[in-house]
Structure 1
Amino acid sequence: MVAGCGLPRSGPTKREIFAGSVLREGDAFILTVNDRVTRATAVTPALGFSDAFKRAGLLGPDTIRPGDTLGLTIWENVDDGLLAAEMANSTILEEVQVDGSGFIFVPYAGRIRAAGNTPEAVRRIVTERLAEQTPDPQVEVRRLAGNGATVSIAGAAGAPGVYAIERPTRTLSDMLASAGGVAIPPEVAQVTVVRGDMRETIWFQDLYENPRFDIALRDGDRILVEQDTRAFSVLGATGTQARVPFQTQTLSAVEAIAQVGGLLTSAADPKGVFVFRNEPEEIAEQVLGRDDLTGAQRMVYVLDLTQPNGMFLARDFLIRDGDTLYVTEAPFTQWNKVISALTGTLGTVATLDTAASALGGGGE
């Protein structure tokens, strides 16, 4: 009778959860976590760069690109040269801009393609052109500003902006360092590089732990620093009930429970720790030992922390994005609620009876 009254509680009981099993005409597979289950479900996000990114060579620091600014000095071996002023034998051409097509203009030498060439190559071309008009010209070509190649950095970087790819910043880690690093905890920082129609992501920590992920940058690369968006929900007899973001790359059930303040000692049942998950077909078949499933399956994993190896299994069982962690209340808690409801009801009845008697006496 009391149960029918709907006592307040934080969620379903263990009996109600097990009633939803496919073995009892429900639509969820309920499994007790063991070593085989922990191995089959230990799936973590596979982040990293493809070979196309890793094999890209460093940009040559001496290669001229559109947008570069060059400086030229030309010496002529005559008193009355083509370019030099009177009584001077050298001419300085400051800030010669490489146009969008990659060309520069040098008087008497004409329009010269600079993009794709090194300063030395441009020097030879200018020398050859001028040699046809003035004897033994000497030419110096200098890069004054920029490499022409830039990347943009956005998101949770220390200093987002547009940065030139220069000799000290030709790799991803160096460029991020130049931009002030990351402004979020490195444990949950992800770095995405967008190159043309390719978009690839890596963990920030992996970038430094694995040197082969420190890729060479390319002109036009877009770098996005953002925090891991994975989260799990927690309900029931725990320290909090909320949607909780991941704080590390991998998160075990024990760590998830600790992250929300642990189990409520006054209410939680350590035998009733459940993880609700929509499991992909291939993993569900591996866990269940079947090959006849279609699509994602509703799975409920059960952890009993009172077993001798319960804590070890909870430590090895990984929480995944979108999981719901639910802890049932201990039977004693429900019993206390029943007693409280009964005694509270009886007390209320007695109070009403006393009040009615007092009113009746006043009427006499």
Structure 2
Amino acid sequence: MTDCTRLTKVAACTAAILSLSACGLPRSGPTKAELLDASVVEGGQAYVVAVNDNVNAIASVDQTLGFPASFRNAAVVGSDTIRAGDVLGLTIYENVDDGLLAAPGQNAAILNEVQVDGSGFIFVPYAGRIRAAGNTPEAVRQVITNQLGEQTPDPQVEVRRVAGDGAAVSVVGAVTAQGVYPIERPTRTLSGMLARAGGTVVEPEITRVTLLRNGERGSIWFEDLYSQPGNNIALRNGDQIIVEQDTRNYTALGATGQQTLVPFEKQTISALEALAQVGGLSSSIANPTGVFILRREHESIAERLVGADLPSDQRVVYIIDLTEPMGLFHARGFDIRDGDTIYVTEAPYTQFNKGVAALTGSLGAVRTVNQTATGLGG
């Protein structure tokens, strides 16, 4: 066989392999070139942005949670605060024989059941309508004493709670003991109430604590409750505390160790950590120059990235080249967000290798059939 013949056959085989690669071989997704062709610059519908330090600074979003100022500024309430619906007991002592309230021959009047009405008031004869809800028994005692002091000399008043739940909050979700708990001296703050409920049953690093109060909502990370004292807010009657595991996740596809939906393992995850969570890049087929993060980016961030006014949120495709000198640093500085898709493209030679395998496998199968047919004919 001449050299020319050999070259002709090699060329024919190469053409066949390339033809196979282009039309029918299986693959994990689009190639790097195909994703780059999706750029708005190329007439596509996404902005393709190469990740660098400047891009990381723009795309980084503070994921810190926090309570509204109304929660943080609320003062601690006493555990004996009177609430609407509570029942109080009053005893009123007078230093005269013929008092305002006492029966003849007695110097004390006992009012065993004085209910706090829906508006938070009670009625005491000769003292009038008195605000009780929101006050302590001691504060109510002083008001009644002052009111009666204008009509009888030096009255002595005792106020006690006879019945009523007082202030209480509900704790639900990922705690040891869900339930409704009274606000008592040890449980007047969020940390005390969570401790009363047995603490969280999931990893503290991925636990969120949400508090609902009068139509307002605030959330913090469980760890921040102890690292930032301002988050240990005072509780109020009717508060609802929800403890839950972080539900954020991202999707890993392409030439990675796993192709799966991945939950966040901590509050912030970089692109490098996200790749490590799924086993890194597949060493046999991955293209380290084609690591993509696909995201629906907020309008304000997209405008800063592309340097132009945009009408709405935009599809943005971030690309990281891990073979560049700073590639690993850029990947470590890029924060993954909830709902992101990480896609690693296959190396260009992968499709060629698949073509070779398909072609040689097909030729081998044909050769086997021919040999079998020859044997049967003989």
TM-score bracket, shorter-length normalisation: 0.7 to 0.9
- What is the match of residue 314 of structure 2? 297
After superposition, the C-alpha distances for 1:167-206 in whole angstroms (9 at most, x for unaligned) are 2212222212211222222222222211112122222222
In 1, distance between residues paired with 2:118 and 2:255?
65
In 1, distance between residues paired with 2:70 and 2:150?
46
Q: Which residue type is aligned with residue 250 of structure 1?
A: T
Query: Which residue among 338, 342, 353 is the counterpart of 2:359?
Result: 342
CA 1:121–1:235: 2 relative to 1, 3 Å: closer
Query: Which residue among 269, 276, 282 is the counterpart of 2:287?
Result: 269
- What is the match of residue 241 of structure 2? 223
Question: Residues 342-361 of structure 1: matches in 2 within 5 Å?
Answer: 342-361=359-378
After superposition, the C-alpha distances for 1:55-90 in whole angstroms (9 at most, x for unaligned) are 1222134432234465666778899x9989x9x999
In 2, distance between residues paired with 1:230 and 1:89?
68
Matched, 1:184 2:236: no
- What is the match of residue 342 of structure 2? 325
Matched, 1:235 2:244: no
Is contact 1:36–1:287 with CA below 8 Å preserved after alignment?
Answer: no
- Name the SS for the 1:37 alignment partner: helix
- Name the SS for the 2:279 alignment partner: coil
C-alpha deviation, 1:31, in angstroms: 1.9
CA 1:359–1:261: 2 relative to 1, 3 Å: same
In 2, distance between residues paired with 1:300 and 1:220?
46
Query: Which residue among 14, 21, 26 is the counterpart of 2:32?
Result: 14
After superposition, the C-alpha distances for 1:11-67 in whole angstroms (9 at most, x for unaligned) are 111122122222322222222211111111011335212222211222134432234
- Name the SS for the 1:271 alignment partner: strand
308-317 vs 128-137, which moves further? 128-137
CA 1:352–1:4: 2 relative to 1, 3 Å: farther
CA 1:350–1:50: 2 relative to 1, 3 Å: same
- Name the SS for the 1:312 alignment partner: helix
Question: Residues 93-104 of structure 1: matches in 2 within 5 Å?
Answer: 100=118, 102=120
- What is the match of residue 267 of structure 2? 249
Is contact 1:273–1:328 with CA below 8 Å preserved after alignment?
Answer: yes
In 2, distance between residues paired with 1:303 and 1:129?
76
CA 1:145–1:207: 2 relative to 1, 3 Å: farther
Q: Percent identity?
A: 61
Is contact 2:173–2:242 with CA below 8 Å preserved after alignment?
Answer: yes
Q: Which residue type is aligned with residue 322 of structure 1?
A: G
After superposition, the C-alpha distances for 1:111-130 in whole angstroms (9 at most, x for unaligned) are 97643443234445677899
In 1, distance between residues paired with 2:37 and 2:341?
18
Q: Structure 1 length normalisation: TM-score? A: 0.84
Q: Which residue type is aligned with residue 274 of structure 1?
A: F
In 1, distance between residues paired with 2:310 and 2:135?
60
Q: Structure 2 length normalisation: TM-score? A: 0.81
In 2, distance between residues paired with 1:332 and 1:4?
12
C-alpha deviation, 1:238, in angstroms: 1.0
Is contact 2:21–2:351 with CA below 8 Å preserved after alignment?
Answer: no
Matched, 1:45 2:63: yes
- Structure 1 unaligned regions, length at least 5: none
Matched, 1:174 2:192: yes
Matched, 1:313 2:330: yes
Is contact 2:21–2:352 with CA below 8 Å preserved after alignment?
Answer: no
After superposition, the C-alpha distances for 1:194-239 in whole angstroms (9 at most, x for unaligned) are 1112122222222221111222222211121222222111101111
In 2, distance between residues paired with 1:173 and 1:45?
22
In 1, distance between residues paired with 2:144 and 2:41?
85
Is contact 1:275–1:301 with CA below 8 Å preserved after alignment?
Answer: yes
RMSD: 3.3
- What is the match of residue 301 of structure 2? 283
Q: Which residue type is aligned with residue 189 of structure 1?
A: T
In 2, distance between residues paired with 1:12 and 1:68?
68
- Name the SS for the 1:2 alignment partner: helix
After superposition, the C-alpha distances for 1:296-331 in whole angstroms (9 at most, x for unaligned) are 222111111122211111000111111110111223
Is contact 1:153–1:223 with CA below 8 Å preserved after alignment?
Answer: yes
Q: Which residue type is aligned with residue 359 of structure 1?
A: L
In 2, distance between residues paired with 1:145 and 1:309?
69
